[in-house]
Amino acid sequence: MAAVQTRSERALNRVAIAAVLVITLIFLAPIYWITSTAFKPRNLATTIPPTVLFEPEISPFVKLFTKRSQLREAPTPEEYAAAPWWERMVFDGGEKIVRSGRGEVQLSGYPNRFMNSLIVAITSTVLAVGMGTFTAYGFSRFKVKGEADLLFFILSTRMLPPVVVAIPMFLMYRAVGLNDTHWGLIILYTAFNLSFSVWLMKGFIDEIPKEYEEAALVDGYTRMQAFFKIVIPEAATGIAATAVFCFITAWNEYAFALIMTNRRAQTAPPFIPSQVGSGLPDWTVIAAGTFLFLLPVAIFTFLLRNHLLRGMSFGAIRK
C-alpha cells in the first residue's frame, strides 16, 4: 500500500513539475520574443515562420535613440566609408540619421520619455508608500470612528477602470494647468496607488505586536520615535513589497499617460508604439524600446527579492 502511495505521489510530483514548466514557458515566451526581436534585422522581424536563428545586431537601438528619415538616394561610397559604424547600420536599412546644421546627431524623444517615466514612477511610489504607511499605522493603532466605512471608501477608488475617469480628470487638469506636467501624473499615480498601499500596509502593521511600541513609550520614546525606530524596521519587508507593486503600476500605466500628456511630460509607454521606420511601424525599434523599458522594473524587483517573498506572506496568517 505504501509503495502504491509512493508511486502515486511521484506521479503527482511529475505532473506538478510539468505544469510549472509549461506555465513558466508561457510567461517567458513574450519576454523572449521581445528580446529576440530587439536584436533582429528589420527584414527578419515579421517573417513567417518566425526566424529563430539569426545574427544579432544593435541597429534597432541606434534607431531608437536617433531621429531618422528615409533615404532618397543611396549614399556615395565615400559618404558610406566616412560614416561611423553605427550610422552605416541605419544606411543599410534604407534610412539616414538626421543631423543639425552643425552636423550633430539629433536624438529621438525616447531618452526624455524614459527619464520622465523614472521621475514619475519613483516619485509617485515614494509618496504612495509613505502616505499609505502613515495612514495604515493610524488605522491599525488607533480607534477611528467609522473605520470599516473609511477603509471601504479608500478601496472604492480603485473600483473604476482608469479610462472611465480619464476624461473628467483631463478637464480638471486643463482647468488648473496640470496637463502635460510631471506633477500632474505624479499626483494621479499617487492617488491611484494610495488605496492599494493603505490596505497592504495595514495588514503588515497589524501583525507587529503593539507591546513593542508600548515598551518604547515606557522607555521615554515619543509616538513618532516609536513609529520610526520600531514599526518601520519591523515593516521593512512589507514596505518593500508594496513599493514593488506601486512602482510596477506607475511604470506600466498607459491610459492616463496617453491622455494627460503630449510632449513635455510624456512617459515611455505611449511613445514606444509610435516608432515608425520607412512609412511602416518598425517592430525591431518598438521591441528595443520595450526591452529597455523592462529593465528598471526587473532590476528593482531583483534588488528587493530578499524582502519580496517575506513581504507577500507577512500579514497573511492570522491568529
**pTM, full prediction:** 0.83
The DSSP call for residue 43 is: G
Contact 289, 268 (CB under 8 A): yes
Peptide bond into 273 cis (omega under 30): no
Per-residue pLDDT tens, the chain, 319 aa: give them.
445 557 778 888 888 999 999 999 999 999 999 999 999 888 888 888 888 888 888 888 988 888 887 777 777 777 777 777 777 777 767 777 888 777 788 888 899 999 999 999 999 999 999 999 999 999 988 888 888 888 888 888 778 787 788 888 889 999 999 998 999 999 999 998 999 899 989 988 988 888 888 898 888 888 888 889 989 988 888 898 899 989 999 999 988 898 888 888 999 998 888 765 545 678 888 899 999 999 999 898 888 877 776 655 554 444 4
The set of residues, in sequence order, having a beta carbon less than 8 Å from that of 97 and lying 6+ positions away, is: 66, 67, 68, 87, 90, 105, 106
Three-state secondary structure call for residue 265: coil
**Furthest CA-CA distance within the chain:** 85
For residue 229, the one-letter residue type is K
Contact 32, 78 (CB under 8 A): no
Grid coordinates standing for 209?
A: 505586536
Which CATH topology does 110-312 take?
Answer: MetI-like fold (1.10.3720)
